[in-house]
C-alpha cells in the first residue's frame, strides 16, 4: 500500500506541475518607458527591451505593447490577461489604433520586446460585428475546470487510501 501511495503522490505532483506549464504557456515583458519623470531605458518606445533586467510574467492570452492617450512618449508592455475592456476575441497579431492609442498584440513567447510598430490603419475592434453580440465558448475555463476536478479527485483518493 505504501508503494501505491508513493506512486500516486509523485503522479499528482507531476500533474500539478504539468497543469501549471500548460495553462501558462508563454511569458510577456511587463514594463513602462517612464513614470513620474523617471525614464526606464530597459523599456524603450523605439527599441528592444533589455531582456536581462525587464520583468516577465506568465500569460495565457496575448502580449501587448501600447501607447498612452495622455502621454505620447509613454509605452506600456504586458499581458492582455491583466487588461479589461479589450475586444474579445482579439484581432490577428499586429498593430492597431484603439481610440487615441496604438495597440500591438502578439501571441508568441516574449514577442512584445521589440519597438512599437505602426498601426495598420484599422481599428483594434474592427473585426467584431457591430450588430451581433459575440460570446466565447469558454473552452479555456472548461479545460482548467476539468484539470482542477481531476486534481481534487486524485487528492481524495490519496487521502482515503493512504
pLDDT digits (tens, 9 = 90+) for 81-126: 999 989 989 999 999 999 999 999 999 999 999 999 999 889 999 9
pLDDT digits (tens, 9 = 90+) for 69-88: 999 899 999 999 999 989 98
Question: Is the residue at 7 inside a domain?
Answer: no
| 86, burial (CB in 10 Å: exposed 0-12, middle 13-18, buried 19+) | middle
- Alpha-carbon dihedral angle through residues 79, 81, 86, 89, given to the nearest 10 degrees: 100
Question: Is the residue at 10 inside a domain?
Answer: no
Report the predicted TM-score, pTM, of the whole model to 2 decimal places: 0.66
Query: Quick one: angle between helices 139-161 and 2-23, nearest 10?
Result: 160
Range of the domain at 31: 26-138
At 16, is the pLDDT very low, low, confident or very high (cuts 50, 70, 90)?
A: very low
Question: Is the residue at 148 inside a domain?
Answer: no
- Can you tell me the distance from the alpha carbon of 77 to that of 110, in angstroms, rounded to the nearest whole number? 10
What mean pLDDT comes out for the span 24-33? Answer: 93
Is pLDDT of 64 > 60?
A: yes
* pLDDT mean across residues, the chain: 81
- Beta-bridge partner residues of 103: 66, 96
Question: Is the residue at 118 inside a domain?
Answer: yes
- Domains in the chain: how many in total? 1
CATH of the domain at 59: 2.10.60.10
Amino acid at each position: 500500500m505504501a508503494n501505491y501511495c508513493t506512486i500516486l503522490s509523485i503522479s499528482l505532483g507531476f500533474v500539478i506541475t504539468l497543469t501549471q506549464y500548460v495553462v501558462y504557456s508563454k511569458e510577456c515583458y511587463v514594463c513602462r518607458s517612464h513614470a513620474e519623470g523617471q525614464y526606464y531605458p530597459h523599456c524603450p518606445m523605439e527599441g528592444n527591451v533589455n531582456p536581462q533586467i525587464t520583468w516577465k510574467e506568465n500569460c495565457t492570452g496575448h502580449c501587448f505593447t501600447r501607447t498612452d492617450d495622455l502621454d505620447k512618449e509613454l509605452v506600456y508592455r504586458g499581458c492582455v490577461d491583466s487588461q479589461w475592456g479589450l475586444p474579445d476575441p482579439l484581432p490577428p497579431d499586429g498593430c492597431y489604433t484603439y481610440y487615441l492609442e496604438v495597440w500591438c498584440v502578439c501571441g508568441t513567447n516574449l514577442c512584445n520586446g521589440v519597438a512599437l510598430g505602426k498601426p495598420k490603419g484599422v481599428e483594434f475592434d474592427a473585426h467584431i460585428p457591430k450588430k451581433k453580440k459575440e460570446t466565447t465558448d469558454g473552452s479555456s475555463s472548461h479545460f482548467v475546470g476539468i484539470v482542477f476536478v481531476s486534481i481534487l479527485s486524485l487528492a481524495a483518493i490519496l487521502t482515503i487510501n493512504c
